[in-house]
Amino acid sequence: GRVADFLELGELFAKDALDRTESCGGHFREESVELDGPQKGEAKRDDENFT
C-alpha cells in the first residue's frame, strides 16, 4: 500500500545519501569542502555527474 511505498522511498533516499561522496542539497559532507580559492569553506560540487 501507500505506507510501504513511502517506507521504500525513504530507504532509497537513505541509501543514496550514504553512497554520495560529495555534498548535495541538505546533505553536507565535511570531507568534501573547498580548501582554497574563492569558494574556500564551501561544499565541493560535482556538476558533471549531478545536476
Q: For 3-33, what is each residue's pLDDT tens digit?
A: 999 999 999 988 987 887 777 667 677 777 7
Calpha distance 2→39 (Å, rounded): 43
What's the pTM?
A: 0.50
Helices vs strands, H then E, count in the chain: 1, 0
Residue 24 DSSP SS3: strand
Round to whole Å and give the CA distance between 43 and 3: 34
* Predicted confidence (pLDDT) per residue in 33-45, tens digit: 777 888 787 777 7
